[in-house]
Structure formats: C-alpha cells, structure tokens
Amino acid sequence: TMATAAGLGTALLSGCGSQQFITMGDLASDYNKEIFWMSIWAIALSILIFVGVSYALFYTVGRFREDRNDAAPQQFHGNNRLETWLVVVPVIIVMVLSVLTVRSMAILNPVPAEATKIDVLGRQFWWNFAYPETKADAGGNVTNGNEMIMPIGEQVALTITSGDVIHGFWAPNIGGQRAAMPATLRSWNVDINRAGVYQGNCTQLCGASHANMRYKVVALEPERYASFLAAAKAYRAPEPAAGSAEARGYALFMQGKPETGALACAACHRVQGTPAAGVAGPDLSFFGTRRTLGAGMWEFMEPENHWETPRAREILHEWIKHSPLVKPGSLMPTYDGSEYRANGKLVKGGILTDAELDDVAAYLRSLKLPEEANYWSGTP
Ligand code: CUA
C-alpha cells in the first residue's frame, strides 16, 4: 500500500508537470489573502447559525415528543422578546459581514498610479494581453497571446473585455474571477508575491472550445519583468535570411497563396515590426518564445528548443494545416482544402503543401524574444 500511495503521489505530482497547483487558497496573493479571511469569517458565522438552528430544532423535537408528553406544549401567540432577538441577531451578522466586505473593497480597489497595466481581451477561443502605454519602437503596444507576463510584489491593474461573447477570466492563484464582457471594460487589480507559472481558464461557457480557452500567467521578479518589457518594446521580428525556410514562410504569412485560395496569416495576426497587423486572431509577435499553442491546448515545457521536438513540430504543422479540425470552433481558416466556418457559412479552405506548412511553421518558430527577455527561462 505504501508503494501504491507513493506511486500515486508521484503520478499526481508529475501530472502537474512543472506547473503550480491550481488553488484559490494560494496566499501568495494579497488579493487571495483578503478574500480568504473574508471567507473564514463568513464560514465561521455560518457554522454559528447552523449550530444554533440545529440545536433549537433538535431540542424542540426531543423535548416535545408526543410519547414523552401527556399534554401538548404550552400554546402561545406572539413573543416580543424572541422576535426582537430573531431580528437583532441576523442584522448584527449581516452588519459584520458588510463592514468586512467594505473594508476588503477599500483595500483591494484603489489602483496605484504607477501600477503595471495590462489590457485583457477574451475572444472565441483565446486571450490577448496588451501592455498599454508601452509604445513598442516598431509601433503599437507590446502584446502577447495566451501568456500573461506580470511582475510580482505589486498590484497589476487589469482592464478586461471581450471581443465577442461573455468569457470568464480566472487564474485561481492570483485571485477571484471577472467576466470579460463585450463593449464593457472591467478593471480589476491582482497581485502575486511568488514568481512562477500559474494556470488561467475561461470560466464562462462561451462555445465549442470553451474548455480550450486557457492561458498561463508567468509572474516574474521585478528586474526580470523590466528586462522582458524593455526587450519587448525594442523587439522587431527577426528578418529571415534570403532563401531560407523562414523567408519562404514569411512570404506565405504575409501574402498567403492566392492561386490556391490560401489566406494570408497577416490578415488576422499581428507580428510586431512587420506589416502584419491583424487583430482577429491572437498576437504572434513572440510566438517562438511561447510554450503553449491553441490557447493552452498543448504545452511544450521542454527547457530548450521546445519547438524543435518531433511532437511540437507535428502539432504545429497540424495546427496550421487545419486548426478547426483539432480545435472545435476555431475561426482560423484551413490550409488543406477542408471546410471551415467563416461568417457563419461553411467555406473551403485554400491549400498549402506540407513543405509550405513547414515553412510557415519555421517562420513562426523564429519569432523569439532575445534570450535575456525569455520570460520562461528559469521558471519552475
Ligand atoms: Cu471563453 Cu469559455
């Protein structure tokens, strides 16, 4: 049994890979700490009420059992003292909870002027994280798809919205959750005091790939965050060498292949420092640095050259070829001629050959931040 237990323990731990446990009780976040103590108060008061009510119930049932009493209990109508208590006690409980709630709100809500700001955009079925006011040298704001990089030890001011339906933004370790609503900006301050990688999810049923709408929160020491941001601001997508696979991929990425109906990736995706400025799909500026694909459907956590493993290469190839086939509801066109849904209608995708798909993949893999700004390096 010991061996089984140990084996199970190892299996559970390795099942989580290098990722942090997902927990709302992670007190490495001041937000969670505040909510945790609020919950303790609410639970304590609930237990008090439960015990009181149970006691009164069982006492009454036991005390006035028919077989123990010859006569019916004393009958009376109205009891001012009892009724006063029945009003006063719940009012006191509600007041205690209100004061605690207002106190927590006052602590959690003000946004320090110098707080790091991140704009969160939920779409079917991915996330974009933009750093407003960062003004990249190549134009636009620094933006990353599906991987949110934040500094530790300070409040981070999120502004959350949706580009289509209602999504739910939830990374348990950094606190509660917020709805991402179309045409609505919701602000929310979060914080975490321990560097690491945390799991985020969409918590609002939003369509076929609701379950495939995950993200990572990568929390960095302030110096490492600063070096990430500096490099991200200065970043221009590397220019591929003439005649290389990356250069052929770049051309396909920017222009597609009109003679086979293959659409340009650039129409929907942005790559900082290139003419690609599409906003219909996730930002791909740092694609080669990212370790997740398809909004967390796949993770590639190999410490080095994670995109070069046979598994990663195959999945990326299949992804570009026909992402709606591997991720239900994905709005990306297909590149193998199979049907996909565009503006509510089924249409046939254009065609890229396997070699051309590999060229596009090679270009995507080359979109890397400089090593000192690789936010994954050294993460547990
Ligand atoms: Cu987005 Cu569920």
Residue 12 inside a domain? The answer is no
Q: Could you tell me the distance, in angstroms and rounded to a whole number, from the CA of residue 147 to the centre of ligand 1?
A: 16
108, 141, 164 - which closes a domain: 108
Binding site membership of 180 for ligand 1 (Cβ less than 6 Å): no
Query: Residue 287 has which token pair?
Result: 């694609």
In order along its 380 residues, the chain shows pLDDT tens digits of: 444 444 344 334 434 444 456 677 788 888 888 888 888 989 999 999 999 999 999 998 888 887 776 777 778 888 999 999 989 998 999 999 999 999 988 887 777 778 899 999 999 999 999 999 888 888 899 999 999 999 999 889 999 999 999 999 999 888 778 999 999 999 888 889 999 999 999 999 999 999 999 999 999 999 999 999 999 999 999 999 999 999 999 999 999 999 999 999 999 999 999 999 999 999 999 999 999 999 999 999 888 889 999 999 999 999 999 999 999 999 999 999 999 988 889 999 999 999 999 999 999 999 999 988 999 987 76
What is the atom index within ligand 1 of the atom nearest the CA of 166?
Answer: 1
Residue 199 inside a domain? The answer is no
Binding site membership of 122 for ligand 1 (Cβ less than 6 Å): yes
Query: Residue 94 has which token pair?
Result: 């509600």
What is the atom index within ligand 1 of the atom nearest the CA of 180?
Answer: 1
Residue 70 inside a domain? The answer is yes
Residue 14 inside a domain? The answer is no
Question: What phi and psi, each to the nearest 5 degrees, are found at residue 295?
Answer: 55, 55
Which of 292, 128, 327 lies closest to 211, judged by CA?
327
What is the atom index within ligand 1 of the atom nearest the CA of 213?
Answer: 1
**Which residues are registered as beta bridge partners of 188?**
158
CATH number of the domain that residue 98 is part of: 1.10.287.90
CATH number of the domain that residue 294 is part of: 2.60.40.420
108, 126, 145 - which closes a domain: 108
Alpha carbon distance 272, 278 (integer Å): 11
Predicted TM-score of the model (pTM) = 0.82
Q: Could you tell me the distance, in angstroms and rounded to a whole number, from the CA of residue 264 to the centre of ligand 1?
A: 26
Question: What phi and psi, each to the nearest 5 degrees, are found at residue 69?
Answer: -125, 130
Domains: count for the chain: 2
Rounded to the nearest angstrom, the gap between the alpha carbon of residue 93 and the centroid of all alpha carbons in its chain is 35
Residue 231 inside a domain? The answer is no
Q: Which residues 6+ apart lie within 8 Å of 182 measured at CB?
A: 161, 162, 163, 164, 165, 166
Residue 161 inside a domain? The answer is no
Amino acid at 323: S
Binding site membership of 175 for ligand 1 (Cβ less than 6 Å): no
Residue 93 inside a domain? The answer is yes
Token match 């994670």: residue?
A: 306
Alpha carbon distance 292, 289 (integer Å): 9
Q: Could you tell me the distance, in angstroms and rounded to a whole number, from the CA of residue 181 to the centre of ligand 1?
A: 11
Residue 174 inside a domain? The answer is no
Q: What is the ipTM of this complex?
A: 0.99
Q: Which domain holds residue 355?
A: 245-373
108, 143, 174 - which closes a domain: 108
Contact indicator for 272, 351 with CB cutoff of 8 Å: no
CA-closest residue to ligand 1 atom 1: 167
